[in-house]
Amino acid sequence: MKLINTTVFRLSLSFAAIFVLIFTIAIALIYYITFAEIETQTDLELLHEMDELEIHHHTQDSAQLMIRVNDRERYGEHLGHFYALLDGDRNYVSGNKELALLINSELENNGNIHYIEKEAEGGTEDTILRIAHKKLASDMYLVVAQESNSLYELREHTLSAIFYSVLITLFLALIIGTHMGRLVLRRINKINEGMDQSVNTNFKQLIDVPETDDEFQALTLKLNSMLERIERLLSGMRQVTDNIAHDLRSPLSRMRSRLEVTLLQSRSEEEYKNVMVQAVNDCDELLNTFNSLLSIAQAEAGVRGKDWQTINLGDLLNHLSELYEVIAEEKGQKFICSSSAVEVVGNKELIAQAVSNLIENAIKYTPAGGQIALELDNIDAHPIIRVIDNGPGIGEKDRERVLERFQRLDSARSSPGNGLGLSLVKAVMTLHDAKLILSDNRPGLKVELIF
């Protein structure tokens, strides 16, 4: 990925631009206010001087004024103050001659204050003068000037300060943006590489989790859990395929060889009939397995849909126990059902099937004389269905495994079944956000469905 395409890089550039803009506006504002303040001060001083000299002119005659202007000029020069007096025809009368020449053409009858640039003489810098003048009652022009170089320097310094600051800011932003972009890019690339590796190893290898506790770690953990899920699904699918190959192939090949052998020579009608009845039974077994697989797939793909309703679990358990009680009795088992009015929202059909699978398992694996209990409880607003038997139970290490499709314990292989019953229960529970817990009843198995 290109650096310029990273979000961090673009962000730091835009932040820099915004910063420069704000900075420039602030400096310009400060400059403007300062400049205006200083200018006002200067002008006030100039006008004040002018007023003083004019008062003298009123009280005394023009000759006195000339002398005063000359005096002021002499004492004020090193302070940057300049004075000049011109007559009505704009000829130099007294004070600073240069100033008089400089202003000559710009004299106005009503007077004003403005800047004039005095060109440098031999190596010195140009001088900027702030000049005020006024036409006196005696038709003479009085000119007062103040050197304002420092004000102009302030302006120039300010401008260059802005310029360099902008330059430095942009430069820094570029460097920081590049650095941060690289940093982020490196970490993203690491995650990308990890994902590629994971894909290449069929999701077996996970992405290395960064040690820093930040968003990248969180992202990596999320991605890893996703990869793990994909891996689980993939291996689940593989396992199901293997199992289908095994569990569906054996009845199919059994049926095929049975039919094939029957066809080897002609047989009596009775024999043909027998073989066909067996073939039909084999087919039923296959269809059963298929239907169970379909039910599981439907439960797994299911959503909370229109077939969800409020279910009275007490009624449901009572009906099921009525259905199965007699079978337990036939097997010489004691069947106890204790239920109360507890309700849950869900798919009635699927929950009934799940519970019936558990009851059937209990009846199937509990020996004669055993006891099977169907209980309904409600703890902290969580309805709990328990199917408890005192049969052989399931060893702790096998309790996870028996929930997988087609998994049958070795001890159960002799009895009929397809190893899908508990898988369906698990799928139904997952669909209902409910928990399926297998535990030891000492002796026997206790299965809890916690909604």
Q: Residues interacting with another protein, by CB under 8 A? A: 277, 280-281, 283-284, 287-288, 290-292, 294-295, 298, 305-307, 319, 322-324, 326-327, 330, 347, 349, 352-353, 356-357, 360, 363-364, 416-418, 421
Cα–Cα distance, 53 to 74 (Å, whole number): 15
Q: How far is the CB of 251 from another protein (least distance, A)?
A: 14
First to last CA, the chain: 48
Q: Cβ closer to another protein: 148 or 353? A: 353
Q: Cβ closer to another protein: 30 or 277? A: 277
Q: Cβ closer to another protein: 209 or 327? A: 327
The residue behind tokens 């970490």 is 187
Q: Cβ closer to another protein: 95 or 391? A: 391
Q: How far is the CB of 448 from another protein (least distance, A)?
A: 21
Cα–Cα distance, 53 to 275 (Å, whole number): 141
Q: How far is the CB of 356 from another protein (least distance, A)?
A: 6
Type of residue at 427: A
Q: Cβ closer to another protein: 243 or 356? A: 356
Q: How far is the CB of 417 from another protein (least distance, A)?
A: 6
Q: How far is the CB of 435 from another protein (least distance, A)?
A: 22
Q: How far is the CB of 293 from another protein (least distance, A)?
A: 12
Q: What's phi and psi for 112, nearest 5 deg?
A: -165, 180
Q: Cβ closer to another protein: 413 or 442? A: 413
Strand-pair category, 127-135 with 343-346: unpaired
Q: Cβ closer to another protein: 108 or 329? A: 329
Q: How far is the CB of 303 from another protein (least distance, A)?
A: 10
